[in-house]
């Protein structure tokens, strides 16, 4: 079996590990900002197609000790690169980590590139060119604090959170992968009504709908990096795509709703819903938070209100958070609510005692997902 590493947002490693196990991964082990796992080529394709939480999936090729630049160059040259790259193909190298001698990632990446193209020229009298935008092969090099170098191939390409269905976004949209994680963390199941009363461009309701309808998020991507690999199996990918499309469900078990006061951003939400083929399932309404009503006597409410880091002024948002708390308390009895906030003082302004506080990162912003049992 091949060894893989799925990169994820910090704090979501265990949740991503659970997802990978559900997809059939073996030897699953959460690490820092990622999950180690094992499997065959079919699993690699399947994870790229189906996983909702990772950013990218790396195939780990080789590990060796590299205390300095000379050892790095020699180690890279021990890999037979003609298995993965022809001189006619392009490459890029992304380097992370480092040690005392290799403490500049740009230099590390350059040393790796030189070792690869020097090997090519020695064998073929030709070499690959560098393409940082859309290379045929993306190589990832990580050097840990013990001077061990891990060489991997990036099978995903652009981050998997960019599903491809969301060309239109609001001013501070959630990443699709974080929205999917919030839905999973809430414990929501498709038989429960779902509402985001501050939906913006619709990411939370759309990710919930894709989960409920069993829609693989990778279906909307233009391409995965592994499709340019020398050993790419197009028949295998076509088979996995056919199976994914056949497994989709036709109807929701319960309504999925989004609303917002901004009519323009709601148009973006409708367009995004159309792009991922859930427009006939998800209902968006132009509604002020002050006038929103619960669509059922129970369900799950999740929202990501502004908290002053990117949108709004934190000092001016206290009243808005109080309105959110009052609305949940008065109109959503029987529901469970989740509010993501990056400002603890604003969280207190909700005026309700959370039954749980889940730490989570929204990009680089430390946040809490506050859970409220509304009786």
pLDDT in tens, the chain (375 residues): 999 999 999 999 999 999 999 999 999 999 999 999 999 999 999 999 999 999 999 999 999 999 999 999 999 999 999 999 999 999 999 999 999 999 999 999 999 999 999 999 999 889 999 999 999 999 999 999 999 999 999 999 999 999 888 765 555 578 999 999 999 999 999 999 999 999 999 999 999 999 999 999 999 999 999 999 999 999 999 999 999 999 999 999 999 999 999 999 999 999 999 999 999 999 999 999 999 999 999 999 999 998 765 444 656 789 999 999 999 999 999 999 999 999 999 999 999 999 999 999 998 889 999 999 999
Full residue range of the structural domain in which residue 136 is found: 2-154
CB 340 within 8 A of CB 368: yes
Residues 133 and 182 in one domain: no
* Domain membership flag for residue 170: no
Residues 191 and 64 in one domain: no
Distance between CA 76 and CA 82 in Å, rounded?
13
Domain boundary pick from 120, 154, 188: 154
Distance between CA 123 and CA 79 in Å, rounded?
13
Residues 210 and 267 in one domain: yes
* Domain membership flag for residue 93: yes
* Domain membership flag for residue 171: no
Residues 266 and 323 in one domain: yes
| CATH number, domain with residue 116 | 3.30.2130.30
Tokens 């073996």, residue? Answer: 26
Question: Smallest Cα–Cα separation from 326: which of 289, 296, 298, 284?
Answer: 289
Number of domain units in the chain: 2
Q: What pLDDT score does 66 carry?
A: 95
Residues 286 and 341 in one domain: yes
Q: What is this structure's pTM? A: 0.92
Residues 262 and 344 in one domain: yes
Residues 199 and 343 in one domain: yes
Residues 114 and 38 in one domain: yes
CB 163 within 8 A of CB 52: no
Question: 365-373 and 356-362 as β-strands: parallel, antiparallel, unpaired?
Answer: antiparallel
* Domain membership flag for residue 162: no
Residues 105 and 248 in one domain: no
* Domain membership flag for residue 163: no
Distance between CA 153 and CA 324 in Å, rounded?
46
Q: What pLDDT score does 98 carry?
A: 93
* Domain membership flag for residue 161: no
* Domain membership flag for residue 165: no
SS in 3 state form for 59-124? EEEEEEECCCHHHHHHHHHCCCHHHCCCCCCCEEEEEEECCCCCCCHHHHHHHHHHHHHHHHHHHH
Q: What pLDDT score does 306 carry?
A: 87
Residues 338 and 210 in one domain: yes
Residues 46 and 107 in one domain: yes
Residues 202 and 340 in one domain: yes
Cβ contacts of 126 within 8 Å, gap of 6 or more: 87, 88, 120
Q: What pLDDT score does 364 carry?
A: 86
| Cα-Cα end-to-end distance for the chain | 50
């Amino acid at each position: 079996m091949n060894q893989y590493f799925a990169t994820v947002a910090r704090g979501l490693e265990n949740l991503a590990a659970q997802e990978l196990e559900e997809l059939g991964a073996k030897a699953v082990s959460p690490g820092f900002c990622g999950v180690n796992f094992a499997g065959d080529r079919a699993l690699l394709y399947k994870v790229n197609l189906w996983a909702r939480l990772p950013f990218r999936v790396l195939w780990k090729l080789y590990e060796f000790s590299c205390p300095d630049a000379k050892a790095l160059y020699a180690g890279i040259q021990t890999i037979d690169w003609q298995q993965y790259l022809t001189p006619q193909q392009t490459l890029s190298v992304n380097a992370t980590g480092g040690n005392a001698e290799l403490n500049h990632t740009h230099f590390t990446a350059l040393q790796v590139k030189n070792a690869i193209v020097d090997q090519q020229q020695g064998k073929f009298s030709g070499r690959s060119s560098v393409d940082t935008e859309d290379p045929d092969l993306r190589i990832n090099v990580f050097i840990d604090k013990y001077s061990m170098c891990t060489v991997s191939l990036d099978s995903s390409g652009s981050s998997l959170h960019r599903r491809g269905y969301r060309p239109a976004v609001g001013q501070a949209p959630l990443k699709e992968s974080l929205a999917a994680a919030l839905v999973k963390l809430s414990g929501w199941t498709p038989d429960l009504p779902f509402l985001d009363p501050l939906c913006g461009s619709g990411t939370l309701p759309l990710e919930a709908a894709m989960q409920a309808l069993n829609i693989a998020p990778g279906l909307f991507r233009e391409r995965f990096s592994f499709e340019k690999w020398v050993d790419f199996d197009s028949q295998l990918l076509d088979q996995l795509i056919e199976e994914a499309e056949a497994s989709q469900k036709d109807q929701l078990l319960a309504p999925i709703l989004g609303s917002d006061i901004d009519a323009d951003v709601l148009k973006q939400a409708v367009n995004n819903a159309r792009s991922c083929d859930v427009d006939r399932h998800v209902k968006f309404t132009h509604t002020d938070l002050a006038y929103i009503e619960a669509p059922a006597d129970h369900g799950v409410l999740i929202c990501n209100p502004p908290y002053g880091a990117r949108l709004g002024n934190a000092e001016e948002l206290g009243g808005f958070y109080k309105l959110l708390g009052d609305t949940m308390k008065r109109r959503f009895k029987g529901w469970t609510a989740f509010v993501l906030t990056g400002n603890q003082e604003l969280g207190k302004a909700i005026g309700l005692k959370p039954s749980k506080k889940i730490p989570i990162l929204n990009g680089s912003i430390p946040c809490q997902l506050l859970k409220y049992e509304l009786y």
